[in-house]
Amino acid sequence: MPGATLLISSKNYSSWSLRGFLLARLAGLRFEEKIVDPDDPSNRKELLMQSSSIRVPALMHEDVVIWDTIAIAEYLNETFPAAQMLPAEKAARARCRSIAGEMHSGFTALREALPMNLRLFRPGFTVWSAVQADIDRICEIWGDCLTTWKGPWLFGAQPTIADCFYAPVVTRFRSYDVKVDGLCERYCQTIMSWPDMREWFAAAQREPEQIDELDVEF
């Protein structure tokens, strides 16, 4: 099969790029990474959430270009069904799509107040009420899934699209010292132990670019 290219931006700051990377790895797709120029104004606007749409990451596969993470997830699921990116059971598939969609379109307060920054650690970070509401909802989602499907991933024994979508949240919880209960903490450990996550995290530490607006002391 012809090769594929995944267009990404910063590994340290871009939760969207991390999702695209994890989705492609979960599908078993062999791909080349191409990094967007950090000085590209449109890339910077996306990282600072000043853009009306998110077009990075973008997956180029054969003659198809897909640039939204929900669309990338569905395309890869259709193209590589053997990867089982969605749960086998119908109700679980519906839940998986629902919570991935909720992550994709919601949790605005969390995104704005706790931007992804893998090189950052803020012990004792103050979380305001709107952000806490987002954290509580995310922990509710995780708890329901982990109780119903028994973990260690949200839908059982192997990762799915939903885990790819919530992985950047785990990094935010780590960066801003967010405390969660034991069940959710074990899930966070599962995500951070994921070999693909460990690879991305290590690369982010080596990334030379810095965006001052995202490294400011809150």
pLDDT 10s digits, 198-218? 999 999 999 876 655 555 443
Per DSSP, helices labelled H in 106-175 are 108-113, 129-149, 161-175
Q: At residue 52, does pLDDT exceed 60?
A: no
Q: Which residue has the tokens 């086998």?
A: 88
User: 107: alpha, beta or left, given left = phi > 0 and alpha = psi -120 to 50?
Assistant: left
Confidence of residue 42 (pLDDT cuts 50, 70, 90): low
Looking at residue 44, what is its pLDDT? 53
Looking at residue 209, what is its pLDDT? 65
Q: What is the average pLDDT across 13-23?
A: 96
Buried b (16+ CB within 10 A) or exposed e, 82-114: ebebbbeeeebbebbbebbebbbeebebbbebb
Q: At residue 104, does pLDDT exceed 70?
A: yes
Q: What is the average pLDDT across 22-26?
A: 98
Output the pTM of the full model.
0.90
Q: What is the average pLDDT across 48-66?
A: 77
Mean pLDDT, all residues of the chain: 90
> CA neighbours within 13 Å on the CB side: how many for 130?
9
Note the CATH number of domain 4-83: 3.40.30.10
Q: What percent of the chain has pLDDT above 90?
A: 81
The domain ranges of the chain are 4-83, 90-201
Round to whole Å and give the CA distance between 100 and 72. Answer: 12
Fold of 90-201: Glutathione S-transferase Yfyf (Class Pi); Chain A, domain 2 (1.20.1050)
DSSP single-letter state for residue 28: T
Looking at residue 27, what is its pLDDT? 98
- In tens, the pLDDT along 168-177 reads 999 999 999 9
Residues 6 or more apart from 85 whose CB is under 8 A from it? 23, 26, 27, 73, 76, 77, 160, 161
